[in-house]
């Protein structure tokens, strides 16, 4: 009797195990071979996704769209799917993923973490209007730039005192911390291929995570919280078009080349990915894709100068 009961118990457990195995076999799991884990490009293709870091609230460059994630996706639950992001940077990132043959998935770490490097391989690339600077080259690899962005000064629309950047010397100016704008006001900015004239001296810098809260403070009134904000031209135009009481003064302070970035501290081999992204960006310049996207999202083609940039001057060797 005992033997019979033991037989029934064992066969029942065996049947349950079989059911579990059948059910789990239906769940799609992408196993990445160990050798592909060592190469970033091979890992991305085996995984089937390109994990892209960008800003969730930086229109017209990138912005999170209030829609549900695609159901048919390889993106992780903590990542955003392609339909949940829009903007110029986001569109460029999606096109890169398309030409790599994988699905784009988005994450939104803070800017300070993105430009500092040491990403821990939590995402693959950053597409977020990152200007090439010699300081950032210590932590990041830069691709061929996909556009060149003018840096401009915003003041309150009611202001009649400031007509050119030089008029803001000694004034309170909002900038994002870790951006080229901060280094410009410090007089320490160095951009490959550009001689920089520091036209604003001894400004009182007020730091922000990005320009959105800075423009909100500027909008509170002329000289109430800030005297000016430094930002890129597309973002300045976007603020004006959205109804913010601000205006651009004078000529651009400088032109910065914006690139796709990768982490120098990655535990993976990134040379293959870096070369492939350079090839894709150059291809997108040549076939007019970048120009069309720039006009669509930024109102003008800001890619021509970037197409002529010689990436070899950076002396990178991933």
The domain 149-256 having CATH identifier 3.40.190.10: the answer here is yes
- Predicted confidence at residue 32, as pLDDT, reads 53
More confident residue, 154 or 30: 154
Residue pLDDT, tens place only, 12-58: 433 433 333 333 333 344 555 555 569 999 999 999 999 999 999 99
Lowest mean per-residue pLDDT among 10-19, 169-178, 219-228: 10-19
Q: Do domains 38-147+257-314 and 149-256 have the same CATH topology?
A: yes
What span, in angstroms and rounded, lies between the C-alpha atoms of 228 and 250?
13
- Predicted confidence at residue 195, as pLDDT, reads 87
pTM of the predicted protein model: 0.82
Average pLDDT, the chain: 90
- Predicted confidence at residue 193, as pLDDT, reads 78
Strands 62-64 and 204-208, bridge-based pairing: unpaired
What is the domain partition of the chain in residue ranges? 38-147+257-314, 149-256
Lowest mean per-residue pLDDT among 2-11, 116-125, 250-259: 2-11
198, 218, 202, 205: which is closest to 170 by C-alpha? 202
Residue pLDDT, tens place only, 222-263: 999 999 999 999 999 999 999 999 999 999 999 999 999 999
The domain 38-147+257-314 having CATH identifier 3.40.640.10: the answer here is no
Strands 125-131 and 49-53, bridge-based pairing: parallel
Average pLDDT of 1-10?
A: 37
Read off the pLDDT band of 2 (50, 70, 90): very low
Calculate the alpha carbon distances from 94 to 16, 87, 88, 249 in Å: 44, 10, 10, 34
């Amino acid at each position: 009797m005992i033997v019979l009961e033991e037989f029934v118990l064992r066969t029942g457990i065996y049947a349950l195990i079989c059911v579990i195995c059948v059910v789990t076999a239906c769940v799609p799991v992408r196993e990445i071979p160990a050798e592909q884990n060592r190469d970033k490009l091979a890992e991305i293709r085996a995984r089937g996704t390109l994990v892209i870091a960008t800003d969730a609230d930086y229109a017209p460059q990138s912005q999170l769209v209030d829609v549900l994630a695609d159901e048919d996706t390889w993106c992780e639950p903590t990542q955003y799917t392609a339909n949940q992001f829009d903007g110029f940077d986001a569109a460029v990132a999606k096109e890169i993923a398309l030409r790599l043959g994988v699905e784009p998935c988005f994450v939104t770490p803070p800017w300070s973490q993105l430009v500092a490097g040491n990403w821990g391989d939590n995402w693959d690339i950053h597409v977020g209007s990152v200007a090439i600077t010699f300081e950032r080259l210590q932590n990041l690899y830069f691709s061929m730039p996909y556009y060149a962005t003018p840096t401009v000064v915003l003041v309150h629309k009611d202001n009649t005192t400031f007509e050119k950047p030089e008029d803001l010397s000694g004034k309170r100016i909002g900038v994002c911390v870790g951006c080229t704008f901060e280094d410009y006001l410090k007089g320490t900015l160095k951009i490959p291929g550009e001689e920089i004239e520091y036209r604003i001296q001894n400004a009182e810098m007020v730091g922000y995570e990005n320009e959105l809260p800075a423009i909100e403070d500027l909008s509170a009134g002329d000289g109430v919280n800030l005297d000016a904000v430094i930002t890129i031209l597309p973002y300045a135009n976007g603020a004006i078009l959205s109804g913010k009481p601000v205006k651009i003064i004078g000529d651009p302070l400088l032109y910065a080349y914006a690139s796709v970035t990768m982490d120098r501290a990655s535990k993976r081999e990134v040379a293959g990915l870096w070369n492939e992204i350079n090839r894709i960006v150059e291809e997108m310049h040549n076939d007019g894709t970048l120009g069309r996207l720039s006009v669509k999202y930024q109102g003008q083609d800001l890619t021509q100068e970037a197409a002529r940039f010689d990436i070899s001057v950076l002396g990178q060797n991933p």
